[in-house]
Amino acid sequence: MEFRLISGNEVSSSIYGELRERISSLRSKGVVPGLAVVLVGEDPASQVYVRMKGKKCEELGMHSVTIVLPADTNEADLLKKVDELNNDPKIHGFLVQLPLPKHINEDKVIDAIDPRKDVDGFHPHNVGKMLIGDPLFLPATPAGVQQMLMRSDIETAGKHVVIVGRSNIVGKPMAAMLVQKGKGADSTVTVVHSRTKDLAEHTKRADILIVAIGKARFITKDMVKEGAAVIDVGTNRINDPASEKGSRLVGDVDFDNVKEKTSAITPVPGGVGPMTICMLMANAVTAAEMSMK
């Protein structure tokens, strides 16, 4: 079967064009969208992600602030910093990069963020708003997946979507978004996970298969329905002696073998990854627009 590659770089480029117009409109009214990121500790993956966010803000003409705190920062000091950002008029949206050191209660920190500035969409208020179909902000990665489907003309209405993974960051919100009424939704959704019996029997019935389980090349050719659209959210680093770095990134889907069976598929890297930062920027712009009302 001839498959179509869904490029996150191409889809995000289109969205960035729209965001630049919105940012220009805000700046003409004296408002510069401000995004802050708080990083506690020196997790290498988090550091890279935070740098990418800052660079993208600069490219878009947004105000960017990065706050780096030592790994031994206590919970009270971090909550004080969150309160400062809640009350900073130049910061329209911010996030505390996860994971946090073990001595800090992540739920307590998330709960302390003003829901109107919670551009990650993790605050219980925003999770509830998303669940009833009236969101302030959608979590960036699921929102990116939904935009990829919509902008690639992959119909979701009446389709059977199987989501592999039940995390609070991807799996659960993805399911909540796709069962809503409206464009890019109206799906019949099945969520499978590590405790699901006969998992492959479910994935083989999917018109759209979304995989976010965190296991390299977990989904194989025999687990995919002929003609399905496959969205690979996973990012895993595996050893590769042929690579200059001695390793390379792969998804949760065995891309080389699965692609020929699909109607559309996302690559790793270059698929969902670029969409996550893109939708975070979109949420920050939305937060700036909301601040004017």
What CATH number was assigned to the domain covering residues 30-116? 3.40.50.10860
pLDDT tens-digit map of 152-167? 999 999 999 999 999 9
pTM over 0.85? The answer is: yes
Write down the catalytic residue from 97, 146, 147, 180: 97
The DSSP secondary-structure symbol of 253 reads: B
- Catalytic-residue membership of 120: yes
The residue annotated as part of the active site, out of 81, 117, 118, 120, is: 120
Element (H, E) at 40: strand 34-40
pLDDT band per the 50, 70, 90 thresholds, residue 251: very high
The side-by-side arrangement of strands in the sheet containing 188-192 is 4-5, 262-265, 228-232, 208-211, 160-164, 188-192
Considering the chain, tell me which residue range(s) the CATH 3.40.50.720 domain(s) occupy: 140-273
Quick: pLDDT tens for 164-221: 999 999 999 999 999 999 999 999 999 999 999 999 999 999 999 999 999 999 999 9
Does pLDDT of 235 surpass 80? yes
Helix (H, G, I), strand (E, B) or coil at 107: helix
Each residue's pLDDT tens digit, 107-125? 999 999 999 999 999 999 9
> Among 255, 235, 239, which residue's Cα sits nearest to residue 247?
239
CATH 3.40.50.720 fits 140-273, yes or no: yes
Q: Where in the chain is the domain with CATH 3.40.50.10860?
A: 30-116
Which of these is catalytic: 53, 117, 159, 225? 53
111 catalytic residue (yes or no): no
Does the annotation count 53 as an active-site position? yes
Identify which of 125, 134, 132, 143 has the alpha carbon closest to the alpha carbon of residue 184: 143
